[in-house]
Structure 1
Amino acid sequence: MTIYLTRHGLREDWINKLWRSTALRPSDPPLSARGFHIAKELGIFSKTLGLKHIISSPMERCIQTSTAIADELDLPIKIDYGVIEWVGPNPKPDDILTPLSNEELKLKYPRIDLGYQSTTNVIPTKETIEELHFRTKIAVDQIIKKYKDDGPIIIVSHAATMIALGRGILNDNQAPLRSGVCSLTKFNLNPSQNEWELEYTGKADYMEEGEQSHWTFKRPVIENSQ
């Protein structure tokens, strides 16, 4: 089995600093024009990966990135709240997550699979790093169990969540993973040892500008790996 992790493309509010001031859902910015471009680059490269399933955060920037992949591969998009954005332990009001419902998203993005059962339906209102690791570990373990005989899969998420998902796969909450937008991190299951191995992280050579907007946690994670 193989799992790919990626992060959404460049966000509109990174380019247009006034976007949030008039947005109905300030925590849910779409991709910028450049974000759509690099998502397209990822989508084209994804044709080389043999993907069978696309799992996405419900946030619109992730759905738009997933759509760029799905359009190239003619695959549905499975929305999973277990891989949603991390808002941190003390989010500001504009950071509170307010994604559209799956049904609302389906109207805008027809490739969404309404039959997929998310690993959770809970939208976190605040989370410590430790709680993020706990949430994503549960999610990725359930996803692996569901698709262990039917991969490869790609999970489209956010910087902190993507790092935490990768650490959950490796059972190592200290693993240093790259999180550039639309970059790829690849894990393979070693069947002889029944352990996951990291093949690469932060791969971005298929994008004309290479790695962009890498992010990581500001402080070390001190809890033991579970």
Structure 2
Amino acid sequence: MSQIIWIARHANRLDFVNPDWFLTAEKRYDPPLSDDGFIQAQQLAQRLKTENIKHIFASPFLRTVQTANAVAEALDLDIRLETGLSEWLNPEWMTDEPERLSTPELKALFPRIDTGYTAQIAAKYPETHEQVRYRSAQTARCLAAEYWPNDILLVAHGASVLGAAMGFVGDQAKDEVKATLCSLVKIVRQESQWLLELKGDTSHLTTTEEVVRFV
């Protein structure tokens, strides 16, 4: 039997389009999608609409939930919030632990969230690059094993997309995966071997970023 692990990075975020948003935002490390980000999320949803995905897991940050929700609507699936897929809690980017919406607040905005799900792995501020890779890799492997043989989608951030992919194919992902905004990684299990089939595909998008930013 085979299993497919899809890993998507969130779509474009508001503070990338309008950097001044950060200066007055209540939750400055938890920006929503930008207008073009919502379009990208819809394009991702259309790309995945015909795939046999059974479960969607998303980082609990707003931009990843918004991206995952577009896909969940297209596939008629729930969203499970997984802190192990969270943003890299990098103290060089963040002066303190990022404040974000609570699960009940997210559930009120996105009814497809499954509040009965318990996250596999915690993300603790502050963390190094090695730590975010380790916990996202561990999270991805745990989810793949627990939901075997179902195909699953993980919606994460630049660093955690790369880390999740490394959880299956090791340094090959570090060398080959390009986690641009709203890109798609596809990893297929054939018997006991994991194969990297898509390395950050953006063919579903009408606009793409030129420089990869792991934030």
The normalised TM-score by structure 2 is: 0.92
> Shift in Å at residue 70 of structure 1?
0.6
CA–CA distance in structure 2, aligned partners of residues 164 and 98 of structure 1: 23
> Shift in Å at residue 104 of structure 1?
1.4
Tell me if structure 1 keeps the 8 A contact 2:61–2:86.
Answer: yes
Aligned partner of 1:161: which letter?
A: S
Residue pairs, 1:39-50, within 5 angstroms: 39-50=41-52
RMSD: 1.7
CA–CA distance in structure 1, aligned partners of residues 181 and 16 of structure 2: 12
What is aligned with 1:5? 7
> Shift in Å at residue 213 of structure 1?
4.9
> Shift in Å at residue 125 of structure 1?
1.1
Identity of aligned residues (%): 33
C-alpha distance 174-7 of structure 1, shift in aligned 2 (>3 A): closer
Residue pairs, 1:162-177, within 5 angstroms: 162-172=161-171, 174-177=174-177
> Shift in Å at residue 55 of structure 1?
0.5
Tell me if structure 2 keeps the 8 A contact 1:181–1:213.
Answer: no
> Shift in Å at residue 202 of structure 1?
1.5
CA–CA distance in structure 2, aligned partners of residues 183 and 200 of structure 1: 9
Residue pairs, 1:75-224, within 5 angstroms: 75-93=77-95, 96-120=97-121, 122-149=122-149, 151-172=150-171, 174-191=174-191, 194-209=192-207, 211-215=208-212
Tell me if structure 1 keeps the 8 A contact 2:181–2:212.
Answer: no
> Shift in Å at residue 14 of structure 1?
0.9
CA–CA distance in structure 2, aligned partners of residues 134 and 62 of structure 1: 20
CA–CA distance in structure 2, aligned partners of residues 175 and 148 of structure 1: 27
Aligned partner of 1:207: which letter?
A: L
C-alpha distance 112-213 of structure 1, shift in aligned 2 (>3 A): farther
CA–CA distance in structure 2, aligned partners of residues 7 and 16 of structure 1: 20
CA–CA distance in structure 2, aligned partners of residues 139 and 123 of structure 1: 10
| Structure 1 gap segments, 5+ residues each | 218-226
> Shift in Å at residue 96 of structure 1?
3.0
Which deviates the most, 62-71 or 165-174? 165-174
The normalised TM-score by structure 1 is: 0.88
Which deviates the most, 14-23 or 106-115? 14-23
Aligned partner of 1:107: which letter?
A: A
Tell me if structure 1 keeps the 8 A contact 2:46–2:74.
Answer: yes
> Shift in Å at residue 48 of structure 1?
2.1
Aligned partner of 1:215: which letter?
A: V
Is structure 2 residue 27 aligned with structure 1 residue 25?
yes
Question: Counterpart of 1:52 in 2: which secondary structure?
Answer: strand
> Shift in Å at residue 46 of structure 1?
1.0
